[in-house]
Amino acid sequence: MQSDFKGIGMTSQRTRDRLAETLIEMGIESEAVLDVIRNTPRHFFVDEALATRAYENTALPIGFNQTISQPYIVAKMIEALIKDNKLHKVLEIGTGCGYQTFVLAQFVDYVYTVERIDGLLVRARERFQKLGCTNIRSNHSDGNIGWKAHAPYDGIIVSAAPIGVPSALREQLALDGRLIIPVGEAGEQKLLEITRNQADYSEKLLDSVSFVPMLAGTDATR
Ligand code: SAH
């Protein structure tokens, strides 16, 4: 990684280590996930004016009325998704600034990511390129329909909350694949882990959460 991604002062290694400590206190156990969080330049994914706050365990604005996910939630979702396995293909719905996509890309062979706001996707793609990340494929489309061309996926991770689980996402899971998804209205969302079994799906409640809503259709604004 180039030296300007390493960060100084409020974006230094010590600041990142402190974030990892917070996540441990909150219950994140995977050393692999904590290591990647420690080594990922989150300040690179937000506006320069917010860089000094990049290692706080909070969501921050990324433009277009959206937010970068809280590090605890990213860690929690990825921990539940990978469970110390090396997954081949993972689908992410809601690229946003690309922070979670980049973290995921350290654990899987390929990340397929879908974003409905073109302006966010354009910037995220620039970041992946600058960081030298070559195993991310992205698409400007509505994640409610998944990304059928590359299905089935060993895992699917959703960063915006629909009212109910979109059927296309269940259908695009491989056998034993896991879907990590927040579901429900604002103020009463639940983070679910849905596993595809031979004949059906099993469901586990992971946490109470607060995500931006999953919207329909695409937005061409740049
Ligand atoms: N993990 C991202 C989260 C961004 S917020 C990050 O850390 O930056 C959630 C994102 O989901 C937003 O960018 C929003 O535009 C996107 N989104 C909402 N509904 C969507 C849909 N139907 N299809 C694709 N993306 C969607």
Q: What is the mean pLDDT of residues 82-92?
A: 92
User: Three-state DSSP class for 187?
Assistant: coil
> Measured between alpha carbons, how far is 168 from 135 in angstroms, rounded to an integer?
23
59 lines ligand 1 (CB under 6 A): no
Evaluate: CB of 147 within 6 angstroms of ligand 1: no
Give the global pTM.
0.96
Query: Residue 63's domain is classified under what CATH number?
Result: 3.40.50.150
pLDDT in tens, 187-212: 999 999 999 999 999 999 999 999 99
**3-state class (DSSP) for residue 34:** helix
Number of independent structural domains in the chain: 1
Instruction: Decide if 214 is inside a domain.
Output: no
Residue 75 lies in a domain: yes
pLDDT digits (tens, 9 = 90+) for 2-25: 445 666 666 788 899 999 999 999
Within a 10 A sphere around the Cβ of 105, how many other Cβ atoms? 22
Note the pLDDT of residue 3: 45
Residue range(s) defining the domain that contains residue 134: 3-209
204 by Cβ neighbours in 10 Å (0-12 / 13-18 / 19+) ranks as: exposed
Cα of 215 from ligand 1 centre, angstroms = 9
Q: What is the mean pLDDT of residues 126-137?
A: 96
Residue 111: burial class (beta carbons within 10 Å; 0-12, 13-18, 19+)? buried
206 Cα to the center of ligand 1, angstroms: 20
Task: Report if residue 218 sits inside a domain.
Answer: no
**Residue 189 CB–ligand 1 contact under 6 Å:** no
